[in-house]
Chain A
Amino acid sequence: MSLLEISNLSVVFGGLKALCDFDLTLEQGELVGLIGPNGAGKTTTFNIVTGVYRPTAGDVRLDGRSIVGFKPHQINHRGIARTFQNIRLFAGMSVLDNVLVGFNQSLRHGFAGTVFRTPRHQHEDQRNQDRAVELLSTLGLDDRAMEIAHNLPYGDQRRLEIARALATNPKVLLLDEPAAGMNPQEKIELSGLIEMIRQRFGVGIWLIEHDMKLVMSICQRLTVLDHGQVIAVGTPEQVRADPRVCEAYLGEPT
């Protein structure tokens, strides 16, 4: 039994087959990539897995249990966290508060506990604050903890999104174009960071990325999508050599 098993996943929007018979398995500690030209259905796949859309057919299993039809927060509670292609931070809140929202689901006290500031509330608030600071320092953001997220430089915002996702204690981390808009130096740092997260947090990472250098260097396996169809699966070397992949990206050879 794999950590994440996706089988025959399909979604139809009106007459458009956005995703057709998608299969994937992801083990703990594995780093798998999802690539494809623009509009291939990569983010749609993430949106289905995280419960934003409901699939037309197929199944998504986490630890052997189906999560199809669950709401986004329920899927997150079961262990899937994500980042977004177009950064979706809580822009007006501090960096620390962004991470604290990720810890929200682990709280065991109710509103009454919050209002009366019960010992359990104080304990949990303090513990989460410590955990948030620790997480931020792991990701190198601790000296920015009190800044408003909106004011962070772009690369830091991307890292904060990852920190926030890790705060929900996921088993699977979905990264949607984490390197988008980064300069070459930031990309090198990012690949190191992803590798560190994989080892340190023991999560399975599933990654959408357009930067081929990054993808080829860090992913163990790749799935290539085009027009909602899987056109290639395999190691980076296999995928690179696949003529259908070249065709999808560059057009038919003449």
Chain B
Amino acid sequence: MSVNALTFRRLPQLPVWVINLALTAILAGLWPLGRVLEHQLNPYFLQILILVGINIMLAVSLNLVNGITGQFSLGHAGFMAVGAYAAGVLLRHYQPQGWEIPLVMLGVLCLGGVLAALAGLVVGIPTLRLQGDYLAIATLGFGEIINVVIINTESVGSFYVGGSAGLHGIPIHANFFWTFGAALICIVCVWRLAYSNKGKAFAAIREDEIAAGAMGVNTTYYKVAAFAIGAFFAGVAGGVSATWFGNLDPESFRFMRSIEIVAMVVLGGSGSITGAILAAVVLTWLPEQLRAVQEWRLVIYALVLILMMIFRPAGLLGNRELWPIPGRRRPGPSPTADPDSRQRMMA
């Protein structure tokens, strides 16, 4: 039996409006869920949960750049810093009260994201002609520049930035809803970009940039777009973390933070969105669980990473997702070897 157009249409897919409605409902449901969790959970678990949410956003957005488009970036913490400082500085300055809080939160998170995306454009346009190691070093340099700029900036006009002492006293308005709402939007955006006709161009660039160009893909445009979109969500994640912790330390946005995010993408499986989520959960939760063994904590954490890369170099999920994607079969042995299995699959 051969595959024809009809077979593809028959793939079970809910109508888009149903999915969009369901996602909106989930987004709205996060608010009451957050209120319940904030009262039920002990503060320590809530803290870990929020960190998980922030790291999911960072890992999924970096996955668009590193995993899906194949442009190895080491500057993600830099974009996070831009968003974090934008949100922190503005909130600290305006100190919104009462009903203004949700609106101002939405505003500063978006603004943080937009500024980070602009930083992404500024960095991406000149550096994306570099490839592989060279791009990694260039983005690494960018992350350090951001750090140095923040350390040396006491204030911008009447806005207090804090310089090397860090920024303290940011009103704490982030909660479960903001964290996971932003994470949900980030996941949906990246997912829909990755698994659409338009988004196939990202993966095509990863697979073979020259061929992608010859097939009419504007490679520069797509690479810069991936960079800017990734930076946007890193900025939002930064904004959330600024308004959750209430203080910012420029040292926490250095190269090591970028490496942590890269580790999540690689551990989850480059190119796999569910893999990035899974790895963000594991790599946030694991170090906390290991607090019991004290000084061995970081050794075990590092050992887990080493062993994973030895025994499962493609990451937890490889380039697959937790469930099959329509129009995308899991890679396996060539079905020519076993025609029956192919027929069964096509049936």
Using known A-B contacts A88-B211, A124-B197, determine if residue A101 contacts B204 with beta carbons closer than 8 Å: yes
A114 to B202, CA, bound (A): 13
Q: Are A134 and B5 in contact (CB under 8 A)?
A: yes
Question: B202-245 vs A: 1/0 string, CB under 8 Å?
Answer: 01100110111111111100000100010000000000000000
Contact across chains for B214 and A151 when beta carbons are under 8 A apart: no
Q: Which residue of B lies closest to A151 (CB)?
A: B334
Contact status A125-B197, CB under 8 Å? yes
The reply on B35 being an interface residue by CB < 8 A is no
Interface residue B331 (Cβ < 8 Å from any Cβ of A): yes
A142 to B9, CA, bound (A): 15
- When the two chains form their complex, are residues B3 and A100 in contact, meaning their CB atoms are under 8 A apart? no
Stretch of A36-44, A68-76, A193-201 that contacts chain B? A68-76
Q: Does A84 contact B (CB under 8 A)?
A: yes
Least distance between B9 CB and chain A CB atoms (Å): 8
Quick check: B201 and A101 within 8 Å, CB to CB?
yes
Q: Is the CB of A104 within 8 A of B215?
A: yes
Partner of A73, one of B216, B328, B346: B216
Q: Which residues of A contact B (CB under 8 A)?
A: 50, 52, 71-73, 76-77, 81-82, 84, 88-94, 96-97, 100-105, 107, 109, 111, 113-117, 121-122, 124-126, 128-130, 133-134, 137, 142-143, 145-148, 150-153, 164-165, 167-168
A77: B residues at CB distance < 8 A: 216
Residues on the B chain within 8 Å of A145, using CB? 3
User: Is there an interface contact between B20 and A117, defined as CB atoms closer than 8 Å?
Assistant: yes
Q: Please report the C-alpha to C-alpha distance between residue A165 and residue B16 in the assembled complex, in whole angstroms.
A: 31
Q: In the bound complex, do residue B334 and residue A147 qualify as a contact, i.e. CB atoms below 8 Å apart? A: yes
Smallest CB-CB separation from A106: which chain B residue? B216
B196 engages A121 (CB within 8 Å): yes
Do residues A107 and B214 form an inter-chain contact, with CB atoms below 8 A?
no
Q: When chains A and B are docked, how far (Å) is the Cα of A98 from the Cα of B147?
A: 41
Question: Would B216 and A133 count as touching, CB distance under 8 A?
Answer: no
A128 touches B197 (CB 8 A): yes
Name 17 A/B residue pairs within 8 A (Cβ), A-sorted. Answer: A73-B218, A73-B219, A76-B214, A97-B203, A101-B201, A102-B215, A103-B197, A104-B198, A111-B225, A114-B196, A125-B197, A142-B3, A142-B4, A145-B3, A147-B329, A151-B334, A152-B334
The residue in chain A whose Cβ has the minimal distance to the Cβ of B329 is A146
- Give the complex CA separation of A106 and B9 in angstroms: 21
Q: Which of A101, A142, A146 has the most CB of B within 10 A?
A: A101
CB distance from A39 to the nearest CB of B (A): 20
Q: In the complex, how many angstroms separate the beta carbon of B61 from the nearest chain A beta carbon?
A: 14
Q: Contacts A50-B214, A143-B346, A146-B328 given; 7 further ones with Cβ under 8 A?
A: A52-B214, A88-B211, A90-B203, A92-B319, A104-B217, A148-B329, A152-B334
- Cα-based distance from A76 to B210 in the complex (angstroms): 12
Name the one of A105, A115, A124, A168 contacting B189, with C-beta atoms under 8 angstroms: A115
- Other-chain residue from A52, A93, A153, A165 in contact with B203 (beta carbon distance below 8 A): A93
Q: How far is B214's CA from A50's CA once the two chains are assembled, in angstroms? A: 7
Q: Which of B57-93 contact A (CB under 8 A)?
A: none
